[in-house]
Amino acid sequence: MKNKKYTIYIIEMVAGVLINMLAFSGTVSDPSVLTGIGSGILVVGLVQLLRTMRIERDPELKKRVETASKDERYAFISMKAKEAAFAIYLIIAAVICMACLILGYEREGMTAAVSICLLVILYTIMFRILAKKY
Amino acid sequence: MKNRLEEIRKQRGIKQEELADVMGVSRQTISSLENGRYNPSVILAIKLARYFEMNVEDIFIYEEANDEK
């Protein structure tokens, strides 16, 4: 399990380096996007690797992290936070959508509207799936 | 939902950390339960009751009028 985690993080880092190499190879007309993606993947892999190594070295920290991952109150708080974030996002996106459409930024307004529709559709699909499961 | 968890725990001379370890939850969860800020799952309530060799109703007091969840 531990080795599997390390392997995934190392693969992420290698993928990040390869994407960066591709960006700097001159084969791509605009390397900035690839550089951003590559650097992002590289940093995420590196941070996860360092974090796992730190946890593995400290038994007290490892125990706390394991307890936190199983703790039902943390799961409850996480669920509540997602619920609140979802509701707040919908309100913010709706305000942005209306403001953009009123100010004539039609494309941006439509993007916000589509994101609201997508979220509501996803919510409906997930609700139906979970209603069958539970 | 009110509970007598703190009272029962102190009667038995058990620390929050020890109870949390046995229940497989964090110390903050035990603290939140004792303060009435968090209501446990059925599983945790039963585990606590079994640990203290009591009935769930002897530890947790359900009051319909004050139930907010």
Task: Read off the pLDDT of residues A86-121 as tens digits, 9 standing for 90 and up.
Answer: 999 999 999 999 999 999 999 999 999 999 999 999
CA distance A63 to A29: 49
Closest CA to A108 of A96, A117, A90, A125: A96
Q: Which of A60, A66, A69, A71 to mutate to test the interface with B (most CBs of B within 10 A)?
A: A71
Return the pLDDT at A129: 96
Cβ contact B26–A72 (<8 Å): no
Per the CB < 8 A criterion, the answer to whether A62 and B19 are in contact is no
Confidence of residue A65 (pLDDT cuts 50, 70, 90): confident
For residues A28 and B66, the model is more confident at: A28
Return the pLDDT at A77: 95
Task: Read off the pLDDT of residues A34-54 as tens digits, 9 standing for 90 and up.
Answer: 889 999 999 999 999 999 999
Class of domain B2-59: mainly alpha
Instruction: Return the residue of A nearest to B31 by Cα.
Output: A73
Q: What is the CA radius of gyration of chain B?
A: 11
Instruction: Looking at the complex, report in whole angstroms how far the Cα of residue B22 sits from the nearest Cα belonging to chain A.
Output: 11
Return the pLDDT at A2: 65
Return the pLDDT at A104: 92
The per-residue DSSP string of B29-68 comes to HHHHHHHTSSPPPHHHHHHHHHHTTS-HHHHEE--GGG--
Return the pLDDT at A133: 92
pLDDT for residue A28 is more than 90:
no
CA distance A115 to A90: 9
Instruction: Return the residue of A nearest to B21 by Cα.
Output: A67
In what helix (H) or strand (E) does residue B2 lie, and over which residues does it extend?
A: strand B2-3
Residues facing B61 on adjacent strands: B2
Return the pLDDT at A29: 78
CA distance B64 to B57: 14
Cβ of residue B1 closer than 8 Å to a chain A Cβ: no
Sign of CA dihedral B40, B54, B21, A70: negative
Cβ contact A73–B20 (<8 Å): no
Query: Is residue B47 packed enough to be buried (19+ CB in 10 Å), middle (13-18) or exposed (0-12)?
Result: middle
Return the pLDDT at B65: 65
Residues A10-21, mean pLDDT to the nearest whole number: 92
Tokens 């209501």 belong to residue: B39
Task: Read off the pLDDT of residues B13-68 as tens digits, 9 standing for 90 and up.
Answer: 999 999 999 999 999 999 999 999 999 999 999 999 999 999 999 999 988 765 55
Return the pLDDT at B67: 53
